[in-house]
Amino acid sequence: MNKYLGLAAVAALALALAPAADANWSENFDSYSVGGLRGHGGWDTWDGDPSTDAFVVTGFNRSAPHSVQITPTTDILHPFSETTGVWTITGWQYIPSSASGKQYFILLNTYNHGGPYDWSLQVEFNSTPRQFRILSPGTYVGNIIYDQWVEVKNIFDLTTGMQSFYYNGSFCELIPWQISGVNEFAALDLFSDGGSEIYWDDFTLQLTGDLATTTWGQIKASLF
């Protein structure tokens, strides 16, 4: 067999086996107009309450021109419907040193407007003690990094039911994905419990081992 033809065949197979385009997700808020986020790109508010919207803004951004501002009244979420696989969700967070109060990064395994709900991960960023902590069943406590974009990452396995949380590139804690819910991923929730404004940008959700991300170099290496 002509090795170049073989290479093309392998590439075609990789594309054929790749998950659907919506299996991986990214969000940088740059295609939206400045203003309320609800109703754009699949974003909604908790229980559909418009008073808890977040806002697309300029001024603070990791990738120009926009980011999303989480205000003291925000409870904004993006629904998902993943039931299998190992996933990595990443977002970049900016907390000004002038910030006060509590903000949350939340992943849910069950969510519907009006319920039922079930939480898999709740990370509290509290600028009063200037610390973040992973809520029960987690126990980890760390120091918040201010006035710069910081990577917030969680890797969760919907088969084994475990997850690993990372902050600024450092591993923090391994905990169960759920205690009383299901091994599914239903929503990302950005919630302020009256905390002052912070910013998020450049979210990604990626299926680990996704053939769609296989590089030509990896395909070639497998042939020889």
In a domain, 1, yes or no: no
Write out the residue range of the structural domain in which residue 99 sits: 29-210
In a domain, 94, yes or no: yes
Looking at residue 112, its pLDDT comes to 98
CA distance 222 to 85: 23
Looking at residue 149, its pLDDT comes to 98
State the Cα angle at 183 between 179 and 184, rounded to 5°. 125
In a domain, 24, yes or no: no
Looking at residue 211, its pLDDT comes to 36
The CATH number of whichever domain residue 91 belongs to comes to 2.60.120.560
Quote the tokens at residue 25.
Answer: 């997700």
Q: What pLDDT tens digit does each residue of the chain (224 aa) get?
A: 333 334 333 333 333 333 333 459 999 999 999 999 999 999 999 999 999 999 999 989 999 999 999 999 999 999 999 999 999 999 999 999 999 999 999 999 999 999 999 999 999 999 999 999 999 999 999 999 999 999 999 999 999 999 999 999 999 999 999 999 999 999 999 999 999 999 999 999 999 854 333 333 433 344 43
In a domain, 121, yes or no: yes
- Residues 6 or more apart whose Cβ sits within 8 Å of residue 76: 37, 38, 43, 44, 45, 46, 52, 53, 54, 68, 70, 189, 190, 191
The tally of domains found in the chain comes to 1
In a domain, 196, yes or no: yes
Q: What is the DSSP letter of 160?
A: T
The predicted model scores a pTM of: 0.84
In a domain, 6, yes or no: no
Looking at residue 220, its pLDDT comes to 37
In a domain, 224, yes or no: no
Looking at residue 23, its pLDDT comes to 53
Looking at residue 209, its pLDDT comes to 55
CA distance 141 to 173: 10
